[in-house]
Chain A
Amino acid sequence: MASVATTADHAHHDHHENFLSKKGLMSWLTSVDHKRIGLLYLYTGLVAFLVGGAFALLLRTELMFPGKTFIDEKTYNVFFTLHGTIMIFVFIVPGIVASFGNIFMPIMIGARDVAFPVLNRFSYQVYVAGILVVLFGLVNPLGGGPADTGWTFYTPYSMKTNTSVITLTFGAFLMGFSSILTGLNFVVTIHKMRAPGMTWTRMPLFVWAIYSTSLIQVLATPVIGITLLLLIAEKFFGIGFFDPALGGDPVLFQHFFWFYSHPVVYIMILPAMGVVSEILPVFSRKPIFGYKAIAWSSLAIAGVSFIVWAHHLFVSTLSSSAAVLFSFLTYLVAIPTAIKVFNWITTLYGGQIDLKTPMLYALAFVFLFAIGGLTGLPLAAPAVDVSYHDTYFVVAHFHYTIQGGTIISLMAALYYWMPKISGRMYNERFGKMSFWFVFIGFNLTFIPQFLMGTQGMPRRYYDYEPMYANYHMISTIGAYLLGTGYFTAILNILISSFKGKPCGSNPWNANTLEWKIASPMPEHNFHEIPTITEWPYEYGRDGEASKYSATKGAH
């Protein structure tokens, strides 16, 4: 199986150079290499993940017993604000797109870099600036102390307690702006820089997912900018948009917020779906089932994601007819989502399933995400949502989709691709053990929350009636297991990327282009741009890896 890629390996082995060779902080901060920028995003995100996770454990500890456990109500409110804001805006929204999307999307389409490498570096800088602004808004040294508004910063509460809603929205806007630039960059890259023969229907599904996500980023993010302008106009010029005292409508803010934040939910989940669509065929040794259906359903989800925002507002004084309409539109999202799940499961059928750590996470994704999706059905029904709205049922539902979806998929991506990035293999036993901690801990944390929610336990409650005490106790124990699982899983990856055994260029016997070049990847990816002759999912043919290679230079 000689390919152009192998030639590229040789060329680079001569110089003993890869994208990690240059050392020193400045070489990282000034780099315009998409792989380095992606890694910076990844590490920044993981740090945010650990910080946000620590706050989650503090919250769960307080909730372990009814009454006051160890912090007061004010501190509790600050902690859940920090947990949500850091997790959503700093970690999950840029999440997989900016990290693994940056590192692998260009390689997967046979390009040497993204279309605008300097802009890519600028995106990262804007993202870091956004983090600083958000942290400033959260700590709020000049205002009335740390923000305690929840990550949704609903007016008028957020305008009353302290002024940090403007800082926080500005931070979210900066990060959003960074993702507009990234999205734009990726859309152009995918349109213009595909290698010869890399037709739309030969693109890996991960690239399709990144493409759909980029479209949402470019179109949805401006709305958060508009919201910011309106908040500023109200605060400094007294023009009433949201404040009822000035003739504004506080619910308008919720419309703006969710018009941005609902598509963002799909910015989080689409790349996760892309990762899983790559991993399942590789470890099942089977072609992905229903390639076109998966690709098109990504675009369909991206499209519908813009017209479902008001399902967050069924009890927020939304008119009944609007509620009916938005319920209907919401069920439309369920169709392409269900199609994807069926395709993934059918991909397993008749395969040769190798339960390596990345595959375990990918399967856990399908399992947990299906629960997240199915518990969305009652929530989209207005009559039932009236009961479940703003209870722990919703908390559990979105943790199943966002954590069970995006974060579990990011863990799958870490275990799948880190050996490629570092050239070193992780510890499999250790990896599997922490996986089971994550999987069991996850269900133990959130299943009791469904049980509480259906009985009416409201979310964002510092204290609760003792009838919920057992559920909260189990949930907290689950959270500790989950925390242990994630921490050891990330530790395993970090240690192994420096100390692990070298793993060669293609440890998983996978077919997408990144596995055809050396590990770690050469600085300019390809010595010679490959020509593509078929799709990447030719797995399991007589045990041979594939014919998916470049014709030029092949035998």
Chain B
Amino acid sequence: MINFLHAALGFITHATPASTVAHEAKFAADFINIISLVAFILVEGALIYFVIKYRRKKGEPNKQTLYLTHNTKAEIIWTVLPTLILGVIFYFGVASFIKMRNMPKDGEIIQLTARQWLWDIKYPYCVKNEKTKAERCIKLSSKNVNPTEDSIKAGKLQDALQKENTPFMIAKGRKYVMQMTSTDVIHSFAIPSFYVKQDVVPGLTSRLWFEPTQTGEFTITCNEYCGDKHSGMLGKFKVVEPAEFDQWKAEQLAALQKELDQDAAGGPVDESALIAKGKELYGAKGCLACHSLNGSPGAAPTFKGLYGKEEVLTTGKIKVDEAYLAESMLKPAAKVVKGYAPMPNMGVEEADVKPLIAFIKSLK
């Protein structure tokens, strides 16, 4: 019996509702679950009651039982009544869904790209260099939190890794529209506390919106199976007060402006800063999955000693220089090293090329 009570309570466990649609969706969920719960108690109650009441006692002889083959009245009632209840359930299930699906016109549009096995987002907040017309926008990437050799050694579980994950900053009380696509397979972008979820499909743009109603960190999960590290494809939104958000945004934009201006002036003189940036991208863009740093073999050539080396391509030989490296990052399928599969598109952008090359060069 404890089991069944627990099952009943099970309908009541839920994610903390933290967005405007969440409250409506949770109301629909609670409403439907309570109806199911009442039906559950009535149906299973009758079943158990009849079994106990009409149980055949030990050694009881066969007896005349109730000869009852049908009862039109009862059957009409139990056809019509559930139909009406289902009609009500249908209404509530659909009403808040339509609100969920109607994108607000005043929402801020965040571009999201899913790839195996992390999320990249790009805010609509950009800076420009007047001279070169180059543009840079605030971008963030999540980190995969599946167990790795290092995390297992360190005894870190998923919550510890999640703490270190990049927070996607958003402001409380503002509306956001996620405009989403995938570079490889189907993913599903879900934020349990916002009660929203939408598949992210290659070749299509899908959308989802929310308006956070409380501050805090909220987990993002991938809900469509996408391969090896699917269960580590988490992220998190950090919801802050609008003032705090605007300050963060201003800081980010200032930093981007500085980078841009430095680039326009011929790039930073500080080579080590460039290498450090490249190292960060090596992790964030997922290069580390295939390219090792210590010469050990992987699904792709190691970065150690790669620069200046002669590689055998499927189409001929080439000396690894800056132009070749840049092309391989931006158009991976253009030249492929013999014996390896073509690299998937890892979402490397123009601005990432320079630091990455500096990083590769540094690995002698």
* Contact present for B192 and A456 (CB under 8 Å): yes
| Residues of A contacting B223 in the complex (Cβ-Cβ under 8 angstroms) | 315, 389-391, 458-459
9 contacts between A and B (CB under 8 A): A154-B224, A156-B185, A316-B199, A342-B75, A350-B68, A367-B44, A367-B47, A450-B7, A465-B162
* Contact present for B70 and A293 (CB under 8 Å): yes
* Contact present for A374 and B40 (CB under 8 Å): yes
* Contact present for B63 and A339 (CB under 8 Å): no
A196 within 8 A of B: no
* Contact present for A389 and B158 (CB under 8 Å): no
Q: Give the nearest-CB partner of A325 in chain B.
A: B94
How many chain-B residues does the 8 Å CB contact rule pick out? Answer: 99
B266 within 8 A of A: no
By Cβ-Cβ distance, the 10 closest A-B pairs, closest first, are: A381-B93, A244-B203, A456-B192, A543-B62, A350-B66, A540-B65, A461-B231, A390-B223, A383-B97, A382-B97
- Which B residues from 3 to 24 make CB contacts under 8 A with A? 3-4, 6-7, 9-11, 13-15, 24
A451 within 8 A of B: yes
How many chain-A residues does the 8 Å CB contact rule pick out? Answer: 102
* Contact present for B95 and A66 (CB under 8 Å): no
Q: A251-B201, A351-B65, A444-B3 are in contact. Are A67 and B157 (CB under 8 A)?
A: yes
Q: A73-B146, A363-B47 are in contact. Are A378 and B152 (CB under 8 A)?
A: no
- Which A residues from 216 to 274 make CB contacts under 8 A with B? 244-245, 248-251
Q: Which of B33, B75, B203 has the most CB of A within 10 A?
A: B203
A186 within 8 A of B: no
Other A-B contacts than A154-B225, A286-B66, A382-B94, 4 sampled, CB-CB below 8 A, are A342-B43, A350-B68, A455-B15, A458-B221
A14 within 8 A of B: no
| Residues of B contacting A317 in the complex (Cβ-Cβ under 8 angstroms) | 198-199, 201, 204, 206
Complex Cα–Cα for A148 and B9 (A): 35
B232 within 8 A of A: yes
Complex Cα–Cα for A410 and B71 (A): 30
Complex Cα–Cα for A447 and B75 (A): 31
B222 within 8 A of A: yes
- Which A residues from 362 to 403 make CB contacts under 8 A with B? 363, 366-367, 370-371, 374-375, 377-378, 380-391
| Residues of A contacting B101 in the complex (Cβ-Cβ under 8 angstroms) | 320
Contact of B82 among A289, A335, A386 (CB under 8 A): A335
A353 within 8 A of B: yes
- Which A residues from 293 to 340 make CB contacts under 8 A with B? 293, 315-317, 320, 323-324, 327-328, 331, 334-335, 338-339
B35 within 8 A of A: yes
Chain A proximity of B79: nearest CB distance (Å) = 6
* Contact present for A382 and B186 (CB under 8 Å): no
A167 within 8 A of B: no
A68 within 8 A of B: yes
A464 within 8 A of B: yes
Binding site for B on A (CB under 8 A): 66-68, 73-74, 77, 148-150, 154, 156-157, 160-161, 244-245, 248-251, 284-293, 315-317, 320, 323-324, 327-328, 331, 334-335, 338-339, 341-342, 345-346, 348-355, 363, 366-367, 370-371, 374-375, 377-378, 380-391, 440, 443-444, 447, 450-451, 454-456, 458-467, 537, 539-544
* Contact present for A349 and B70 (CB under 8 Å): no
* Contact present for A381 and B3 (CB under 8 Å): no
Contact of A370 among B44, B92, B162 (CB under 8 A): B44
Complex Cα–Cα for A244 and B43 (A): 48
| Residues of A contacting B351 in the complex (Cβ-Cβ under 8 angstroms) | none
* Contact present for B185 and A351 (CB under 8 Å): no
Chain A proximity of B16: nearest CB distance (Å) = 9
* Contact present for B227 and A157 (CB under 8 Å): yes
Complex Cα–Cα for A68 and B79 (A): 50
